Chain A
């Protein structure tokens, strides 16, 4: 089942690129195929979720074929955390295709192919149980994203695409060295075995730092976040959605899957580093977001701040923090994706991301104003939205770990409210004086169809988070057992609190 989920977009990709006909027909074919395939992927994802046993912390739907021996095996399987992130990917993908339906007119087949390839690679990352299969998908994602930013991006797309590619590549190759060392010591590339393998404490620190180099860049954490605003600003709308919605989650997923279980002692030792960077990120990037004049850049900085919540939660080493961290990834994936879509809606109309060029949209675009308001509130963390649940859990977890950590993180929430409301006021409220802004039509049916499902998902996660927390319970509990067993007598690992 996982193999089908991974390979189906590749097959569709080949069909889109090789399909005959003139440019118009190929473009139409590409759009339809991409939408159909991503919808099928979503349906398969639902099936996976329904047949998933949430009580077990073991990996499920396991497939293991020694195809590429001796280097790696086609070894797949998912636990609750990967399941949720796969669901996020397959949910956002059809919406991305719909969002690009009319705004992309140039080289449509290649565009859709790149997105389908992206989907394959993202699902592959979350479903890999082989160290190098993971690396393959993790790195492979650079290629389609580089092309998406570089071909369909904005004015400074070339600079942004290089920066994105080289920045993330530099982080990843250091991780590759660590992986090679690990397989040399443990004589296996199997992730489940490595998750239970005890590396020597001194070695753990180095390995942890090497993985940290890669995940911190992907996450991105302050101070290696600078590629993100550039990449976001230049990427086309759907590219930003995937970047914010799923690609940023690879870093957090990496921490949960590799750093914490494989190097439990180093994780506890270097907890201070994560906390320090998270606190700086929350305050610093929130303040930076306040002064942005570019909408996408503002949301990009807010992403960095939200990701700091993820890292703080994951390294709080308690149930609330870990579950909150993962939930934060899901929530942020939905909310920031939706915010980028909202920006894309008005960008398609006026072709500028400059906040000052807008104003008073509430008058002529009431439906848009409503959706935008909802996602703004979700980003701030208003109760009944997913953001609230996630932020609450993270704060509860980090308060247990260290009260001063929770204090600083809370200021981040306040600042977050400040910059989001400030953005909303400038774009939507005020007098509708500019003629070109007045001429902008309200949301089309297609745009409503994109934003409505995300709205419902955000509400669902905000009102009844148990459905999303249930699959996380067992793997998080297993992770905490592993952490506390590796760190006996360590006060910071609050297993039973």
Chain B
């Protein structure tokens, strides 16, 4: 039964495009700024990887494809089309195959939206990040608010499903300002929003500045907490409740691709730095690829695989991953499924304590983190993870 555990989450494909026009100071994703990109060469590598993975997990129904980055809206629409064609030729695709592409809202990129739609992209995830020019500059974004709005309008013409990202708990941001900004975002009539608290990551420009004490005005834990709860309250009132810690959607408009991660399904990762979870021959593996774009390309060309490591996951590891990802969802986790993977139930005294504190709720086979519990989910998970 565990051998097919992934089926409870589905199967998706993640394509990583590692290039950006500029590196944002807060971003710790695998992105690079390159002078020129040989898109033909990248195409050959991507197609080769699709065929390789297709041979490993043939015949599965593919639920979703996600172009992430980096900035995938820098890809030629032809490249996107070729990749999607190859995917359709490799796996049987679900009738409602979701194909998402991440886009930056600049005018240049908006010009490619039509091409992406024609290639088969049916959902756009836009990195707008802030709704005022001052903060956009501080976040190192290359677009203005006006430009973002125009790009959003263009996207509306071509895609039924659009989401955008905003970052909150920014420097000098007050809860009142965030409340107003969020209302404005909701008035743009989106059906999906990803709302992230600014996180200072090591190895980023913000991380360096923070370490040197040069990143002033960040809200403290209590203020950031206030903004988090404001976010929950406003989005819920607007009919976009949180279905995950940082993701809000109208019912049915959730990102199905991301749900595969949180429901702990299988996903193949293609491109530099892409991670996968793939069940092959009854064993679930964690896979990853080299981070360097040039290195990944060469590896694919020379060896026929972009994979760097493949680690067989023990069932207990899988249980921990399922717990960590699943509790992010408002829908929570299925306890019998967890127990099958872990080989034992979650510690009942810890669960009782957490229930008593109002951090988790049990409803039949389902365990979910409450609203309060999701705000401190790391602590909840630490308590539940086995020693």
Whether chains A and B associate is: no
Binding site for B on A (CB under 8 A): none
Binding site for A on B (CB under 8 A): none
